Amino acid sequence: MIHGNVEEAIKETSEYELAEMAKDKKLTLTAYFRKDELDIYIWTDYNSGKTQFTYVNNSEFDLGTLRPIYYALCGNMDAYLMECPNGVVELHYGPVTSGLWEAGAFRILTYGERILNVVPELGYKYRGVEDKMVGRRIEEAVFLIERMCGTNSVAYSTALCKAVEGNNTPDRAEYIRVIALELERLYNHFRVIQRLAMAASQKVATSHFSALVEEVLRLNAKLFKHRYIFGLNIPGGIRRNIDTDILLRKLDDIEKEFEELIDLLLNSRIFIDRIHNTAVLSKDDVLRLDAVGVTAKGSGVERDVRTFDSFYSETPFSVALQHSGDSLARMVVRVEEIRNSIEIIRHLANEMPQTALKSDNKADGFRYGRVEAPQGDVLVVVEAKDDILKWVGIRPSSLINYVAFAHAVRGNIFTDFPFAIESFGLSFAEADR
């Protein structure tokens, strides 16, 4: 949970300096927002953990040639479209599809079985969350941001709350927030493994893993009175206390069950054959496309905002890295993260301090908050005054990783498509907001 003041950190740059920054391989382009005639570029150095803010006044500078992710951040997905040569078919898949997929479409260029290019088409789920948050009281805005992406609700609401409350959150609130974040990571990762097993028609493994997802959701419901932990965060702290006995007891069961299942699944050759060498994303691709989270970690790039978070340094947190960059690597990263999350939750539940749950601290001004969501880090930038939001910018992790996915799936054949997309764990609701 990184947070800070934007106004103190922001610097004006010329277009030349901006281009120099874009050429610097150490910096990652995290976000781009347009606010009152200003173009705000946000950069992250994942080695030192420093977030840099720069702005350019009234420019029409096209950063996309240096940083392809710029187009996605502008909402210009068409920039990734390729020319459709003779004999190549453009397939439009979505938005209403079979099964329980989200409303989102893909434009797929295909030649026979081979996928030449994929461009996700956003906008079907656009609910205008950022616009609707403006002018609301912060407490109500938290309800809105939770319902932007239900499966990452704690990550977004924590980022928003950290942005507006500053430093003095009570300890117990911080502990419970991190427990909620890690529980969210657990069920999201279980779900990704379940969907990978489903794509490989491993019916028994699918049932076992979806039972595991349900176990975590039921645990959430008992602890937080909501299966997806909506309504936990309020600016200044949290709303509910939790019972750590139930948590610890259930966590032991979940861990035991998971270890047995993952042992069986990773020894299933039929399953491994399907995800090994599927949708390979090389280390250079990650650096070029500024991918984040599990996607980057699967390709051997350490990008996790928890590494430079002082709160996590006191917990048994460690970064899981894999180097092959295929669907299997991303799944193994998830397996390691599940084990690590269980350890973190256990550590925090045992050391929980007895303090108040909320304080009345409010930090006005132009501020930001960053949290590592299950699929990658998310950023929320807000301008608040007297408990009312004046401006909101949200950078979802799925938006970035859709571009990485579209690159990784090129050259694969159609039957690999579900394995590719499930291994990234993407959500249209999050990318579209």
Partner 1 sequence: MRWVLRGLKKGILTTKYPKKRPSYDEVPEIGIPMPKVADIESARKYCPTNAISDTIDVSKCIFCGKCEEYGFKRSRNVEFAEVRKSLPFSRSIHIFVVDVGSCNACNMELEMLNNPFYDFHRLGFFFTPTPRHADVLLVIGYPTDRMIDALLEAYDAMPEPKIVVAAGTCALSGGIFEEGKGGLERYVEVDVKIPGCPPPPIALLHGLLKARGGLSK
Q: Which is nearer to partner 1, 139 or 351 (CB)?
A: 139
Q: Which is nearer to partner 1, 227 or 276 (CB)?
A: 227
145 neighbors 130 (Cβ within 8 angstroms): no
Please list every residue from 402 through 431 that binds partner 1, using CB under 8 A.
Answer: 427-430
Please list every residue from 22 through 41 that binds partner 1, using CB under 8 A.
Answer: none
CA of residue 348 relative to chain centroid, distance = 23
Residues 6+ apart with CB under 8 A from 170: 237, 355, 356, 357, 358, 359
Q: Which is nearer to partner 1, 80 or 428 (CB)?
A: 428
Whole-Å CA distances, 369 to 52, 117, 162, 382, 388 = 13, 34, 6, 9, 17
CB of residue 129 vs partner 1: minimum separation in angstroms?
8
217 binding partner 1? (CB under 8 A) = yes
Report the C-alpha gap between 383 and 131 in whole angstroms.
13
278 binding partner 1? (CB under 8 A) = no
Report the C-alpha gap between 41 and 241 in whole angstroms.
38
Cα-Cα-Cα-Cα dihedral sign, residues 119, 124, 128, 129 = negative
Report the C-alpha gap between 108 and 118 in whole angstroms.
5
101 binding partner 1? (CB under 8 A) = yes
100 binding partner 1? (CB under 8 A) = yes
Site map for partner 1, 145-174, x if CB under 8 A?
--xxxxx-x---------------------
Q: Which is nearer to partner 1, 148 or 332 (CB)?
A: 148
Q: Which is nearer to partner 1, 84 or 211 (CB)?
A: 211
User: How many Cβ atoms are within 10 Å of 125's Cβ, its own excluded?
Assistant: 18
Q: Which is nearer to partner 1, 226 or 288 (CB)?
A: 226
Among 86, 98, 167, 310, binds partner 1 (CB under 8 A): 98
- Long-range contacts of range 19-28, CB-CB < 8 Å, 24 or more positions apart? 19/61, 19/63, 19/66, 21/54, 22/63, 22/66, 22/67, 23/66, 25/287, 27/52, 28/290, 28/292, 28/303
205 binding partner 1? (CB under 8 A) = yes
213 binding partner 1? (CB under 8 A) = yes
208 binding partner 1? (CB under 8 A) = yes
Positions touching partner 1 (CB under 8 A) are 95-96, 98-103, 123-127, 129, 132, 139-140, 143-144, 147-151, 153, 191, 204-205, 207-208, 210-211, 213-214, 217-218, 221-222, 225-228, 230-231, 239-240, 260-261, 264, 427-430
